[in-house]
Structure 1
Amino acid sequence: MRFGFRDFAVAGALLATASHAQCPSYTTYSQTPHDPRSSGPLALPYMRPDPACRTFNSTAVEKVIEDLKARLKDPDLARLFENTFPNTLDTTVKYFNTTENLAFIITGDISAQWLRDTANQFAHYHSLLSVDPKLATLVKAVINNEARYVSEYPYCGAFQPPPESGLPPTHNDWADGVTVNPPVNNQTVFECKYELDSLCGFLKLSRSYYQATKDTSFMNANWHSAVDQIFRVINEQSQPTFDDDFNFISFYNWTGGGGALSPQVNNRGNNEPKAFTGMVGTHHRPSDDLSTFAFLTPANAMLSVELAHLADVLDDARQAKNVSRFARQWSRTIHDAILNSTILNNVFAYETNGFGGRYVMDDANVPSLLSLPYLGFLDKNNAAYVATRKLLLSNKNPYFSAGKTFRGIGGPHVDPWHPWPMSQISAIFGTDNDEEIVGSLYLIANNTNGLGLIHESQSIYNSTDYTRSWFAWANSYFAEMILDLADRKPGLILKENKSYKPGRG
């Protein structure tokens, strides 16, 4: 019998469905250590699912794992990388159809696709897209699925499976009792908190795909419609709360309360008033928590960076010159507004409102102030960043906490005494100081509760008290950081002081 490409795709999906039906839930699997153990002092377990239970396979990813296992000095770090680098592909690809150009990616133990999480879950694979066409096809399918979401619901950040998948929608108890205006369809939307960084995530995934492949085929009608909707949100949410005649301006509101995880949003779901600054307002943070003031500095920094990249991509592809022009204008406007309205005494505020209100803190979730160099907004030696970083990693940040075995930045999403390992990863991206890097690296490695995966948060009082054993974004971010060190600081972690870059040997 002769099979075409589509036949193989469908047959493969059917075989995968039958095989995965026999596989244990990774939510359960990730809570128990599995052999073999690493040979280092931590004896970390091997946490990859059986090959038959993995949701996607990439030969390029497997090669990077073998490369790093052979090069890393510390067998415990090697095991952490081996567990975390493939975690997104091993566990979160719930649906992928090449013919439909659609893929549905879950965050880990929550069966929904977050725009922000997905962009970060795939960030460490970008350099492999040019050498692994199958992986590139998957990412293109993710972009197309998300373009459809953003086109219809640009204010929403988390979504249900596409109807073509046949996967049932997941009921979100935390969305019960929530009123969203404009209304949304919960068969498509999992949660509709407006988080500016979610739109940035979509732009990041898009431009990273293009930078790696130079393939313009993802720029279809869905994608251009999504980009148009992003500019709609930028224009709407940069406006002040009142016009000159004190007419109230509202394009979106989300009440919260009821069964929602987040508290009720004040001012009838519109949050705190804001004045015009040139920045773009948001209702919720990357943590899914309610913002205190509308202008979230790190989300705006990421938006400024990604709009500049969008313009570069469109110009290089010779498409949508008018959109490219708007992107550059907004990128400059937002960049200048951040520098002019968020820095006081050489310290960035996390949130501002345009009336002089400032909230000096940081949250572990990226984009964060600590991650500004990672985002590409500024150099890690920038004087304001250095001063801000020092404050954030101290008790002057209300969401910094420290115990005998772990310390870092957390946020109200869990509680103040559960800092997130993600904050220590951001700290590594933000310094060239070897001692600080090694200190942060081993704070992370020593706090997996013996499970060899990167968790959401970790108690400073009890090493066995953590949240989310399966959190794909955190695993990807850790692996991305190891690859960054292998290139930027090879002598710290590799047997030879020779830079390693994936896909180049």
Structure 2
Amino acid sequence: MRGLSAQAVLAASILGPSLPVPANAAWADYPARSRIPDSCPDYNDYSKSRHEPFSSGALALPNMRPSPECRTFNSSAVEKVISDMQARLKDPDMAVLFANTFPSTLDTTVRYFDPDLNLAFIITGDITAQWLRDTGNQFAHLYRLLPQDKNLQALIKAMINTESRYIAEYPYCGAFQPPPESGLAPSHNDWADNVRINPPVDNQTVFECKYELDSLAGFLKISRSYYANTNDTSFMNDNWKAAMNSIMTTIHDQSQSTWTDDWRYVSYYNWTGTAGALSPQVPNGGNGEPKMANGLVASSHRPSDDLCVFNFITSDNAMMSVELDHIANMLDKAATQADLSKQARSYAATIRDAVWNTTLNLNGVFAYETNGYGGYYVMDDANVPSLMSLPYLGFLKRNDSNYVKTKNHLFSRLNPYYAEGKSFSGIGGPHVNATYPWPMSQVSAIYGSDDDAEIAQRLDVLLKNTAGLGLIHESVSIYNATDYSRPWFAWANSYFAEMLLDLAERKPGLIFKEDTPYVVGQ
């Protein structure tokens, strides 16, 4: 991925003439025909500097929220959660970090929203494109607020409809341009230059088309989370049904072996970098390493957008099995689309069994990638879904013996992408550099622990490694904690805030002044 400067897009008008925006209002109060004022700074620049007021804590963390008129979406329900948590958190720096991270997605990334057209465009932060994976994670901490905020509910519903249109046509693509109805100009992606894709795609609709299985699982997560918190089935329109059909077809096709019994080479999709492409070429004509069918679903790229070594990613499949079960339960509860429910549940069981039966090595440690031929690549990548995040994904319990072995293995020298410095340590991946672990890995490890001392230690690492900016970054150097990547990365901020809300329920005494649980929406 590559950050793009897009001030013209950030301040672009939406549909029709601009409406006057009162100083105390947010852009989303005028969702169809408004604009971010031209006076608002580019948040990519704003996020690199400290802004007053500062916390009273030892770190004096700054307030990094845009001014109210520059926020891209307003929610009184969100503001209440911030107020509730700040009143309870015992560390003033942690209170400011939560206040910066919890609303980050709504404050900065809603670039277009029209409830009448049921369309939305959500960027990742410093990249002006809508990633299926990122949106699923950027909003994960907000779903419980949907019963309290009809405007937020309409935004999520519009996001589902927009992504349904994308997936129905391009199920192998994970990042997209603004919908044409928005009036926003498509962005140019240098990483997509000189890349051959079969089937071909329209770069006015698609921003990038590396095939990542977790992108489809992320869409399922958005859909079932919306229904679970609203009981509204209206999102299951023709667009959504077409998207689900595309997903089921992709799962089937990518579960097949590379070779047929009579030695025909099977390729449903291939992505090939060519001379001049910034992304590495994918071997075997863009198909990756050969694979043997074993019940898992293949992916050519990881959740990090990096090229796979072997095409069966354990954590992607674990997430997909969980989300397919949720989708089946949702459809059964809504008493609709029984055939789709049956298909989803069947795939969920097949994939879940394959994860347990084919991805554990002789030491009982989950491999990150396998190929069906007996090849195991034992490592982890910080992006979620990851092996470290298996409890967060709902695939297994924190105390599962295989998970405990895997976690101990991955937070050690046995994982080639674990790195440790004087102030920061964690799991990273090849996406940035082996010497730059990701804060996201520490968040996942907290989700995977019930040990108070471990959780407190990992929280301390996160709190002290924001480069003094009070935001969660993509990666941090083990040699220089002020050297980080991506100053504006909404998913990482949302994931941290979601984790803190999880602790507010299950470990309130660790973070609150009083040992009383706090549950969002209650």
TM tier relative to shorter chain = over 0.9
Local SS of the residue matching 2:30: helix
Distance in 2 of aligned mates of 1:10 and 1:434: 40
Structure 2 residue corresponding to 1:332, chosen from 340, 349, 373: 349
- Report if the CA contact (8 A) 2:29-2:73 is conserved: no
Cα-to-partner distance string for 1:212-234 (whole Å, 9 max, x where unaligned) = 00000000000010000000100
Residue 416 of structure 1 corresponds to: 434
Corresponding residue number in structure 1 for 2:15: none
- Report Cα offsets for 1:388-413 as digits up to 9, x if no partner: 00000011000000000000000000
**1:236-260: CA deviation from partner (whole Å, max 9, x where unpaired):** 0000000000100000000024444
Q: For residue 60 of structure 1, give the secondary structure of its aligned residue in structure 2.
A: helix
Residue 238 of structure 1 aligns to a residue whose secondary structure is coil
Q: Give deviations 1:339-376, integer Å, cap 9, x for gaps.
A: 11011221100000000000000000000000000000
What is the alpha-carbon distance in structure 1 between the residues aligned to residue 341 and residue 31 of structure 2? 38
Q: Secondary structure in 1 aligned to 2:147? A: coil
Q: Is the 8 A contact 1:297 1:351 kept in 2?
A: yes
2:486 is aligned with 1:468: yes
Deviations 1:386-439 (A, max 9, x none): 000000001100000000000000000001100000000000000000111011
**Residue 3 (structure 1) aligns with:** none
Q: 2:445 aligns with which of 420, 427, 439?
A: 427
Query: Residue 503 of structure 1: CA displacement?
Result: 1.5
**Aligned-residue offset at 1:13:** 4.3
Residue 16 of structure 1, CA deviation? 3.7
Distance of aligned partners of 1:459 and 1:221 in 2 relative to their CA distance in 1, 3 Å threshold? same
For the pair 1:480 / 2:498, whether they are aligned, the reply is: yes
- 8 A Cα contact 2:174 2:209, kept in partner: yes
Looking at structure 1, the residues matched to 277 and 428 of structure 2 have their Cα atoms a distance apart, in angstroms, of 21
The DSSP-based 3-state class of the residue aligned with 1:129 is: helix
One-letter amino acid matched to 1:371? S
What does residue 155 of structure 1 align with? 172
Contact kept? 1:257, 1:265, Cα under 8 Å: no
For each residue in 1:50-73, what CA deviation from the matched residue of structure 2 results, as whole angstroms up to 9, or x when unmatched?
000000000100000000000000
Distance 1:406 1:460 in 2: 6
Counterparts of 2:33 and 2:194, CA distance in 1: 40
Distance in structure 1 (CA, Å) of the matches to 2:33 and 2:88: 36
Secondary structure (helix, strand or coil) at the match of 1:124 reads coil
Indicate if the aligned counterparts of 2:65 and 2:104 stay in contact, CA closer than 8 A: yes
Deviations 1:445-489 (A, max 9, x none): 100111000000000001111000100000000000000000010
2:334 matches 1:317: yes
Post-superposition offset of 1:10 = 10
Task: Give a deviation string over 1:189-227, Cα, whole Å, max 9, x none.
Answer: 000000000000000000000000000000000001000
Which AA in structure 2 matches 1:490? P
Larger CA deviation: 344-353 vs 189-198: 344-353
Determine the structure 2 residue equivalent to 1:205.
222
Structure 1 equivalent of residue 279 of structure 2: 262
Gaps of 5+ in 2: 1-18, 21-26
TM-score (norm 2): 0.94
Corresponding residue to 2:250 among 233, 238, 260: 233
Work out the CA distance in 1 between the residues paired with 2:283 and 2:335.
45
Unaligned runs of 5+ in 1: 1-6
Percent same amino acid at aligned positions? Answer: 64
In structure 2, what residue type is equivalent to 1:459? S
Superposed CA RMSD = 1.3
1:400 paired with 2:396, answer no
Tell me the equivalent position of 1:371: 389
Equivalent pair of 2:28/2:74 in contact (CA under 8 Å): no
| 1:358 correspondence with 2:376 | yes
Residue of structure 1 in register with 2:239 after alignment: 222
1:195 equivalenced with 2:195 (yes/no) = no
1:175–1:259 contact (8 Å) kept in structure 2? no
Separation of aligned partners in 2, 1:316 and 1:13 = 32
> Match for 2:322 among 280, 284, 305?
305
User: Could you report, residue by residue, the CA deviation over 1:67-119 in whole angstroms, capped at 9, with x for unpaired residues?
Assistant: 00000000100000000000000000000001000010000000000000000
| Matched residues, number | 497
